[in-house]
Structure 1
């Protein structure tokens, strides 16, 4: 009877965890538009996909967009089809991916250890800073993390609690879905390496599946089938448009330039081989506070030949090595390892959370965060230091706008109040409440405060007001948020086209109908070829100044020089 009662209680805890995840990650949905750098790009592509009906070949303006497979854009466009609101639709894939990932690590923890371990795994993942920060954004990484975790889920069930062929095939199929989301979706298949090591070293708990060659071969079939869902119709359609070189370029770019070649010759975000060390310490707080306790215990479990630890830990190490090899690195690359870290930490937490040293570390972390936010907010309000002035200017906020600093003070006061009232006895609750309150306050307060300048919505609404309804607008040196937030149709001359070529095309376009045409242009693109006195300044957004120009504001005979010959695909902030 007690066992039945305990299971019922654990199930209630699970649903509470799911609701908490929906609240924390979903808070603020509908209160903001897509923010740079990546969100406006994917949402613009999704909107054009919906409007054109072409779901196989994404476009950014007039250009085919081959940087990423279309999975995220499909989902955004699909949710918009159902809800008719981009403000809601663009964040739903990340929300569902995050909740799904938490549910997967919970179920793995339950199957490999206990329901309590599953709850600890899900809760630890939810309150980890990088997980919440990234899953509250509309980027590809939360979605690919979900598919990688689903792949791990299926393979671990088969390897450690098998044979479970359906789980194995599901894991391989999920890896394929991960590939058509982002090439690194194949990472879950790295689990075969520690699995083989566990078999050779005779670890306890690993499933040795003899024979069944056909069952094993269905794994690669499932993997390739998932990829084929997108690849086959895309290739067939590209072949049907063989007379258009843009389609051949798209196929070559997305299949070769954006996968193996980009990994081998990564050029952006150059970092040292040790780049991820501070990432897994700083951005994986508060989970990283447990390292002092988990590392020796993991080592003991490995010496005891417990395969439940070897497979996830070995996979995490392989992921870190994989992303440390290329020159280009970003902190978000290693986020798919977080769910497995939470999983192998969870069964140790029941003991560790009672340790005084861990409780002190948790309270100290909250104190540092709270004190820093309060001090920074007070300084910004009273002395206007350089960091505050720069932040206001870069975000395009009004100089007298103090709401963002009051928000920082509020979050900081909450952290300090939790430390003061809960102390050592309830330190774990204080840390969890501190992380939850941070995201809730930022979402419900910060989103509305920062949205106008971060999304360019005010600049684009102002543009719409300045351009007469029957006149035509084009864009040069534009960013995705400009076209996305403009409440009307705008012509473009390409996005990756060098700025001086965009300017030349825009100038020619203006001359064709000087009385009815306008160009929305970034200040850096104009060079010396625009008489600023005859141009209309629209506003500042995303650290850039934006103007409206007409044929009469062009300097006769002027051609932009190399100083504005920047590629339109340069990174956003």
Structure 2
């Protein structure tokens, strides 16, 4: 089988593995449902550069990803999880394919196959590929920009066209997520050129062509923002959100060692392997060619730069992941005889072995609905794969055995995702609000009321995506007890003065505690009626 065929078979297998997830999963309340609500509001208001979330200006994100959501909503008439997920899954594959083709002269086919699988099954990368967020799209544009930067730095024959594509990818990255789309390529390339003692090439890469093209596109966008939202919105988007997050964040503030702490599970199950090889490759006397040094610089400079900012989230580290995994893969063959490599893979394999016992314990103690055939079968696959990987790992100490172990673990993770995803219809009530909102609409129709209120639910205002009308959010301590029937005949006989029922959505235990009869349930959430 040719290397090209092997590459595309992996991409096809990845799509098949995640397909049940993107078809069956509900939107999460934290960010996904908010993006949908903002897009709906923009469509109603006919605004395309200025966004609001229930009337409150939302200058937190640039417009490109919200445009995609608006376009999908306009084309299909609804928010389709499978369609929106394509704008995370496809960029993930484009990112891996770009880096893979970039390193074609640095590694053999087997090592690159392992690198592809490692990248796609890294915890942070796989999660981002299945999430309705703009981060994977931004990562794709950043990787494309850095590929063009490499061509320009090395005077590649495609350098002429790269000079124009480079600022375009930079602009699209900024239009997707914000300044990180510019700062990551800028930091990486400048640090790399200083390390290799070629600072004069900074002018070639970041010269007039780049800044005029990027600046012109940015100026057009910001002019449109100012025209639609005024100077106040423009200031909030460019200064308050950007400088505020970098210097003294009002959200997600964390210490400088944040990414060093969270790295271990974000890059799992390959975190020990990647970290160990990178440290070894950075050691004194280690031989590194230009591309290997560039990848190492990208991986480390991205994390270092992000650590200097006040606002920190695990997802911000996503652009560094493909450079981390491919850096490790480029040195894997050289260090394959090192005995510690086996243990770097043995520990995650051993953890995976306990997947089935862990699920059997959790299903009885925490979430009874996890007791499904799909979850048990998926955890069984993981446990078996972990055992097989351990047996392979210690059967020999050759480079081929390490690659085999990586392929076993990576393939097992994708198989487990495919099998376990079939349990999502039962778990969606714990993931999102779709099920409980549909129950609320049914109850409201039965009691002939349109008054639906929400009490003590996270991001409840964005339920309007499902309820198709504004949501009344009751202040946390303000929920009244159910009305007690009065002896006044006039109040009971006069429909105008009689209290009208309203539907309440909240946690089941909270409604029961308040003495409200639960009419419908979905997971931990419930619907009650106050009369």
TM-score normalised to structure 2 length: 0.80
Are the aligned partners of 1:175 and 1:189 in contact in 2 as well (CA < 8 Å)?
A: no
Q: SS of the residue aligned with 2:207?
A: helix
Shift of 1:290: 4.0
Aligned residue in 1 for 2:484:
none
Shift of 1:83: 4.7
Aligned residue in 2 for 1:410:
380
Please point out which of 94, 103, 108 is paired with 2:102.
Answer: 108
Per-residue deviation, residues 328-379 of structure 1 (Å, max 9, x unmatched): 42222212111122232332233445766434542442222221x2222233
Are the aligned partners of 1:366 and 1:431 in contact in 2 as well (CA < 8 Å)?
A: yes
Aligned residue in 2 for 1:561:
none
Aligned residue in 2 for 1:295:
279
Q: How does 1:502-541 map to 2 (within 5 A)?
A: 518=502, 520=504, 522=506, 532-533=514-515, 539=521
Per-residue deviation, residues 297-347 of structure 1 (Å, max 9, x unmatched): 34468x657332333322332222222234442222212111122232332
In structure 1, how many angstroms separate the alpha carbons of the residues matched to 2:202 and 2:23?
Answer: 52
Question: Is 1:460 paired with 2:457?
Answer: no
Question: Which has the larger displacement, 452-461 or 166-175?
Answer: 166-175
Aligned residue in 2 for 1:429:
407
Shift of 1:117: 6.0
Question: Which has the larger displacement, 112-121 or 16-25?
Answer: 112-121
Q: How does 1:38-117 map to 2 (within 5 A)?
A: 38-50=31-43, 53-84=46-77, 86-110=80-104
Aligned residue in 2 for 1:21:
14
Question: Is 1:11 paired with 2:43?
Answer: no
Q: SS of the residue aligned with 2:333?
A: helix
Gaps of 5+ in 2: 396-400, 481-494
Are the aligned partners of 2:153 and 2:204 in contact in 1 as well (CA < 8 Å)?
A: no
Q: SS of the residue aligned with 1:29?
A: helix
Shift of 1:63: 3.4
In structure 1, how many angstroms separate the alpha carbons of the residues matched to 2:198 and 2:47?
Answer: 52
Shift of 1:486: 6.1
Are the aligned partners of 2:461 and 2:471 in contact in 1 as well (CA < 8 Å)?
A: no
Change (3 A) 1:264 1:370: same
In structure 2, how many angstroms separate the alpha carbons of the residues matched to 1:269 and 1:531?
Answer: 33
Please point out which of 117, 120, 143 is paired with 1:149.
Answer: 143
Please point out which of 277, 280, 290 is paired with 2:260.
Answer: 277
Aligned residue in 2 for 1:244:
none
In structure 2, how many angstroms separate the alpha carbons of the residues matched to 1:250 and 1:13?
Answer: 49
Change (3 A) 1:435 1:188: same
Please point out which of 30, 34, 56 is paired with 2:27.
Answer: 34
Are the aligned partners of 1:77 and 1:89 in contact in 2 as well (CA < 8 Å)?
A: no
In structure 2, how many angstroms separate the alpha carbons of the residues matched to 1:366 and 1:212?
Answer: 46
In structure 1, how many angstroms separate the alpha carbons of the residues matched to 2:476 and 2:391?
Answer: 60
Shift of 1:463: 0.7
Question: Which has the larger displacement, 457-466 or 428-437?
Answer: 428-437
Please point out which of 205, 212, 215 is paired with 1:221.
Answer: 212
Aligned residue in 2 for 1:179:
174
Aligned residue in 2 for 1:5:
none
Shift of 1:515: 6.4
In structure 2, how many angstroms separate the alpha carbons of the residues matched to 1:360 and 1:434?
Answer: 19
In structure 1, how many angstroms separate the alpha carbons of the residues matched to 2:462 and 2:387?
Answer: 44
Aligned residue in 2 for 1:571:
none
Q: SS of the residue aligned with 2:502?
A: strand
Please point out which of 297, 302, 314 is paired with 1:314.
Answer: 297
Are the aligned partners of 1:34 and 1:481 in contact in 2 as well (CA < 8 Å)?
A: no
Gaps of 5+ in 1: 1-7, 203-207, 240-247, 505-510, 554-573
In structure 1, how many angstroms separate the alpha carbons of the residues matched to 2:40 and 2:30?
Answer: 17
Shift of 1:211: 8.4
Per-residue deviation, residues 451-499 of structure 1 (Å, max 9, x unmatched): 1231122211111011138643354556557744765432246x8xx94
In structure 1, how many angstroms separate the alpha carbons of the residues matched to 2:45 and 2:54?
Answer: 12
Are the aligned partners of 1:363 and 1:431 in contact in 2 as well (CA < 8 Å)?
A: no
Are the aligned partners of 2:436 and 2:526 in contact in 1 as well (CA < 8 Å)?
A: no
Q: How does 1:257-276 map to 2 (within 5 A)?
A: 257-276=240-259
Aligned residue in 2 for 1:379:
361
In structure 1, how many angstroms separate the alpha carbons of the residues matched to 2:514 and 2:212?
Answer: 61
Question: Which has the larger displacement, 127-136 or 13-22?
Answer: 13-22
Aligned residue in 1 for 2:191:
194
Are the aligned partners of 1:173 and 1:223 in contact in 2 as well (CA < 8 Å)?
A: yes
Q: SS of the residue aligned with 2:65?
A: helix
Per-residue deviation, residues 383-435 of structure 1 (Å, max 9, x unmatched): x4xxx33xx2xxxx65x955576256424433345337755444233222222
